[in-house]
Structure formats: structure tokens, C-alpha cells
């Protein structure tokens, strides 16, 4: 990449042009096109959406016509080879926002090509895939990062602050829920959710929140179990899940444990007051934390528009469109902020100093545990365990429990009434 002061630029490639692009990436690219990316250590860096890749190209073409003047003209590739065409076209960083079971191939191709990569959560579905991405990023001296935007939620940041500062001591247990509307499973994502589950799609938000917020050198991930229901999105005996209840347990050295239940679904009625229903509760030795991400003190009712077109309890913290007091229209929120942080990290590596010190800057950005693939092991282990347990349940066998870093391996599925164990991942998690 060129590091001369007059040519500081990051050319971005976008793989996937669905809902999440419109919610977070689009407003970021449009804002940075107007304002540039600035920080004192790397100066002004131009970030441009250079190329996009998608299955059909239809959304990209609509956006290209609609976005004249808001982003630079970009190239659109469609079809099975679109990611490879995007990489050949020439980009410096690639954002992967495809369905969760398609993340790995695009991310691997981009890392093999020596590009910085940002992947929507969950990063991948197995530890074997995570190992591959981490190895490629290290081999080719680039960043591999994951979008965990709920870590940027101001309420979650305050929870993390209280815990790190010692105000809340020793988490014991918790409950998290995120319930998506039927429109997600019935129309917006109707094609790709066949054979999928809402746990992998959204429970991972809270998996990472727990693992990051309460991380310490004392506790360790110990076991995972889950259950699920079918029959609304797909057939009762099929492999497409309506709801998932996940439990993860961490163990402390003194014999105590911390257990967390995470409930997810994508079959909430579409006339629900908010777009999603989401809340967390955590209990500590000396306190309790309750947060409801839907009920944040704002309620709005507009005749014939709520709750279908507009929601009664909106979340303006995630992604809000505003008319600022100074007359400017803006779109901002922690969903967009987390995308900007990735490009700031890339800009820091490539433009914040002499090329001779790039390796040091790269090491510093890799050490950020909130989003680096090297710090995603527990989250991916839980996702891999959940997928294996649901597969077992779908086959008509009782669900089991997955043991972490036990004598038989790093991730081992134990079956009720059966001494035989299935090793999902042999190495240490």
C-alpha cells in the first residue's frame, strides 16, 4: 500500500450487499467519502468503496444508481467467482457480510491474497476454520477482525467499565435474550436460513459480550449445552430452527462456576413494539446488572405507521438517522462506529509511521482482544458446540454436553448414557 502523505488511501471491497450493508457499511462509506478518515497519528486517509461482490448483483446495481455523489463509482461483480474477481480488481481491505455459513471461504480467499479482512459475526463456524484464518493473517502480515458491534453499545461499555474497575465483583450467572421478528426468517433471510439456527446468528453477540466483558486469567470455558425448537420456519423434524436455548459454563480455580443462559429466536410477531426484543441480566457477588436494549426510555406512536413501518420502542443507539441542531443530516450509532474502528486500525498499520515500524503497529492492533480472530477462540468453540448439539438433536438423539479442554480433547461431545465421545476439536481451545 502507498504511504506517501498525499496518497493515503484504503480501497475497500465489500462481499455481500444485504441488510447489514445497508444498516452499517453504507452509512460508513458515505460518511467517510464526504469527511475522510482522520486521526492525529495517521492523518487524513481516504477510504473508498472500490468494488463489491454478491451472488446476483441486483442490490449492488440499485445502490450504485442511488448513491451517485455519495460514494465513488465502484465496480460490481456477481456470481460464483465474484469474490475472486473483486480481489483481482484491487482492494486493500475486504469486508465479509454474507450469511454465517459462507464467511470462511471469502475470508480465506482475501487473507490468501494479502488483504486486511473484517468479518461479520460469527467469524466462522469451527475452530479448524478459525485456525486457518489466524494462520493466514499472520503469514501474510495483515489484520483479520470480526464485527462485534454490541461491544460498542454504551450500556455494555459501562458494564465492562464497572467490572474492570472492580465495582461489580465476581460474576456468578446471567441471562440474555434476543428475539428477532418473523420477517427475518420469513422474508429477509428466507433463502439462506434453511438448515440454520438463530443461535449462531445472534446468540454470538452475547457469547462474545460475556467472554470479553468478564475475561480474566482465572476462569476458563468449561462446558456448553443447548436445546431448540422447530416447526414454524421449517418442518418439525427438519434442520431449520425457530428458537435456541444455549447454556455456557465457565469454571473458576476455586471450584465455583458461572453459568449463562442465552435464548434466541426469529419468530417474534412482526407487530411487536420493537424491531427485536433484547435484554441482559448479570448477577455478581455484590450486585446485579439489568439492561433492556429495547426499552431505553423512548416510546413513539404514529397513526398508521407504528409498529409496522416505524417501531414504538426504537434503538437510536445502534443506528439512528438524525437532523443535527446545525442543520446537517447524519446517520450514526455503535453499529457504524465499530466499522469505523476497523478502518482506523488498518489506517494505523499502514499509515501511522514509517514502513520499518509497520510490524510493531500490526502487533499492537492484533492485541486488541475485542475483535481480533486470535481472541475469538471461546466464541467460535461455543458456536461449534452449539451446531453439533443441534445436529444431534435434529437426528432424533438426545442432546448432550460439550466438554472444553478436558482429557479427551479441546472440544468433546459427550452423549447421555454412552461412554463414547465425539472429538469436535482435538487441540486446546
Residue 5 clears pLDDT 70, i.e. is over it: no
Domain count, the chain: 2
Does 347 lie in the same domain as 304? no
Rounded CA separation 279/341 (Å): 25
The set of residues, in sequence order, having a beta carbon less than 8 Å from that of 166 and lying 6+ positions away, is none
User: How far is Cα 78 from Cα 93, in angstroms, rounded to an integer?
Assistant: 19
Angle between helices 127-139 and 103-112 (to 10 degrees): 20
Quick one: average pLDDT of 368-388? 97
Q: What does the pLDDT read at residue 3? A: 47
- Average pLDDT on 346-351 reads 98
- Compute φ and ψ for 205, nearest 5 degrees: -55, -50
| Position 1 pLDDT exceeds 80 | no
Same domain? 163 vs 311: yes
Tell me what the pLDDT averaged over the chain comes to: 94
- The predicted-structure confidence for 89-143, as pLDDT tens digits, reads as follows 999 999 999 999 999 999 999 999 999 999 999 999 999 999 999 999 999 999 9
Say how far apart CA 402 and CA 358 lie, in whole Å: 41
Encode pLDDT of 281-316 as tens digits.
999 999 999 998 777 878 999 999 988 888 888 888
Regarding whether 172 and 106 lie in a shared domain, the answer is no
Coil/strand/helix, residue 121: coil
What was the pLDDT predicted at 361? 98
- Residue 164 and residue 116 in one domain: no
Q: Are 129 and 170 in the same domain?
A: no
Same domain for 101 and 209? no
**Residue 411 within any structural domain of the chain:** no
Residue 398 has pLDDT above 70, yes or no: yes
Phi, psi of 382 (to 5 degrees): -65, -40
- The answer as to whether 416 is a domain residue is no
Domain annotation covers residue 402:
no
Q: Region 186-207: what's the mean pLDDT?
A: 88
Report residue 6 as a C-alpha cell: 498525499
| pLDDT band per the 50, 70, 90 thresholds, residue 11 | very high
> Does residue 182 share a domain with residue 77?
no
81 and 193 inside one domain: no
pLDDT at position 6: 54
Identify whether residues 65 and 18 lie together within a single domain: yes
> Is 297 within a domain?
yes
Spatial separation of the C-alpha atoms in residues 257 and 261, rounded to whole Å: 13
Q: What is the pLDDT of residue 315?
A: 84
Q: Is the pLDDT of residue 418 over 90?
A: no
Q: Report yes or no: 385 and 406 within 8 Å, Cβ to Cβ.
A: no
Domain that holds residue 103: 5-149+327-372
From 316, 340, 360, the end of a domain falls on: 316
Query: Is residue 175 classed as helix, strand or coil in its secondary structure?
Result: strand
Amino acid at each position: 500500500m502507498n504511504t506517501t502523505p498525499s496518497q493515503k488511501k484504503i480501497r475497500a471491497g465489500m462481499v455481500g450487499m444485504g441488510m447489514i450493508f445497508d444498516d452499517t457499511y453504507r452509512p460508513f462509506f458515505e460518511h467517510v467519502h464526504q469527511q475522510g478518515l482522520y486521526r492525529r497519528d495517521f492523518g487524513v486517509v481516504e477510504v473508498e468503496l472500490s468494488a463489491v461482490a454478491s451472488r446476483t448483483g441486483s442490490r449492488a446495481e440499485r445502490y450504485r444508481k442511488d448513491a451517485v455523489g455519495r460514494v465513488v463509482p465502484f465496480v460490481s461483480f456477481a456470481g460464483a467467482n465474484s469474490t475472486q474477481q473483486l480481489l483481482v480488481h484491487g482492494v486493500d481491505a475486504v469486508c465479509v457480510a454474507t450469511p454465517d455459513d459462507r464467511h470462511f471461504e471469502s475470508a480465506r480467499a482475501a487473507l490468501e491474497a494479502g488483504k486486511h479482512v473484517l468479518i461479520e459475526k460469527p467469524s466462522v463456524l469451527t475452530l479448524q476454520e478459525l485456525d486457518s484464518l489466524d494462520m493466514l493473517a499472520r503469514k501474510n502480515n495483515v489484520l483479520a477482525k470480526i464485527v462485534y458491534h454490541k461491544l460498542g453499545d454504551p450500556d455494555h461499555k459501562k458494564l465492562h467499565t464497572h467490572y474492570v474497575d472492580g465495582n461489580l465483583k465476581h460474576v456468578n450467572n446471567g441471562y440474555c435474550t434476543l428475539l428477532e421478528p418473523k420477517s427475518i426468517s420469513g422474508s429477509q433471510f428466507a433463502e439462506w436460513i434453511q438448515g440454520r439456527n438463530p443461535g449462531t446468528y445472534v446468540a454470538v453477540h452475547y457469547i462474545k459480550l460475556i467472554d470479553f466483558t468478564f475475561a480474566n486469567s482465572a476462569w476458563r470455558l468449561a462446558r456448553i449445552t443447548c436445546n431448540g425448537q422447530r416447526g414454524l420456519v421449517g418442518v418439525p423434524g427438519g434442520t431449520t430452527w425457530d428458537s435456541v436455548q444455549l447454556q455456557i459454563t465457565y469454571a473458576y480455580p476455586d471450584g465455583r462456576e458461572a453459568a449463562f443462559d442465552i435464548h434466541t429466536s426469529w419468530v417474534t410477531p412482526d407487530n411487536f413494539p420493537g424491531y427485536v426484543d433484547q435484554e441482559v441480566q448479570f448477577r455478581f457477588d455484590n450486585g446485579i446488572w439489568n439492561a433492556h436494549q429495547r426499552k431505553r426510555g423512548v416510546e413513539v406512536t404514529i397513526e398508521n405507521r407504528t409498529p409496522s413501518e416505524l417501531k414504538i420502542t426504537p434503538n437510536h443507539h445502534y443506528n439512528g438517522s438524525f437532523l443535527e441542531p446545525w442543520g446537517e443530516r447524519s446517520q450514526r450509532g455503535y453499529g457504524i462506529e465499530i466499522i469505523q474502528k476497523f478502518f482506523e486500525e488498518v489506517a494505523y498499520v499502514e499509515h501511522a509511521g514509517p514502513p520499518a515500524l509497520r510490524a510493531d503497529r500490526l502487533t499492537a492492533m492484533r492485541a486488541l482482544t475485542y475483535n481480533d480472530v486470535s481472541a475469538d477462540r471461546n466464541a467460535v468453540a461455543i458456536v461449534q458446540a452449539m451446531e453439533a448439539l443441534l445436529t444431534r438433536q435434529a437426528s432424533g438423539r438426545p442432546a448432550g454436553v460439550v466438554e472444553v479442554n478436558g482429557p479427551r480433547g479441546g472440544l468433546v461431545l459427550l452423549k447421555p448414557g454412552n461412554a463414547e465421545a465425539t472429538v469436535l476439536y482435538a487441540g486446546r481451545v
